[in-house]
Chain A
Amino acid sequence: NAGVTQTPKFRILKIGQSMTLQCAQDMNHNYMYWYRQDPGMGLKLIYYSVGAGITDKGEVPNGYNVSRSTTEDFPLRLELAAPSQTSVYFCASSYAGQGISFFGSGTRLTVV
């Protein structure tokens, strides 16, 4: 089924550990996004990409890195996990200027 695939669904990290959240889409969307969702705060944009090889910071990029080597994949890396990064992370994709229609199923990350 076409859509946005995120892995893993759940993860517990210790402070200082690193990990990569994977995101892949098979709809040939040029725009991809990473959001974090915290209770009562809505969604905050971490990073976005408008095409392969192009990434830029969103509202809350500190502590994260991304890459976009292909149109399909947009991994999010946490280098030194901190408790403040405990959140639910959503990847999303869209065609340019069309609005986000597809979200991944989310990754619930806990940093202890």
Chain B
Amino acid sequence: AQSVSQHNHHVILSEAASLELGCNYSYGGTVNLFWYVQYPGQHLQLLLKYFSGDPLVKGIKGFEAEFIKSKFSFNLRKPSVQWSDTAEYFCAGAEGQGFSFIFGKGTRLLVKP
């Protein structure tokens, strides 16, 4: 069955620390992968997406993610986090041209000033 799993439910970091949030997917065919961010009390915003091509994808706000097909992973990274990155982060996948997105359960990131 198709699935998207996020390893960490809660992450606490100090400002300037490096961030890596794990995401693994299980799809049978071509998969498109996404990372979204949800700031407290707000709606989801798209950070970045991978459809094909260069497996290292750069998004907004200094985030990037790497698609590693052999590991079925699409981890989100940021070299140096800021207090304003405190939010919940969701990985999502969709098969091919499909519309049925599957979201992971989310990772709550708290960045301490």
Residues of A that sit less than 8 Å from B by CB: 31, 33, 35, 40-45, 48, 50, 58, 90, 92, 94, 96-97, 99-101, 103-106
Contact = CB atoms under 8 A, between A and B. Distances in A.
- Chain B contact residues, majority secondary structure: loop
Interface of B: 9, 32, 34, 42-46, 49, 51, 90, 92, 94, 96-101, 103-106
Contact of B101 (A41, A50, A100, A104): A100
Contacts of A41: 105
Contacts of B100: 45, 48, 58
Contacts of B42: 105
Given A31-B99, A33-B99, A99-B32, A90 B43 contact: yes
B94 A99 contact: yes
Contact of B106 (A33, A42, A100): A42
Contacts of B9: 40
A48 B100 CA distance: 8
A103 B104 contact: no
A92 B46 CA distance: 12
Contacts of B99: 31, 33, 48, 50, 94, 96
B23 to A, nearest CB: 12
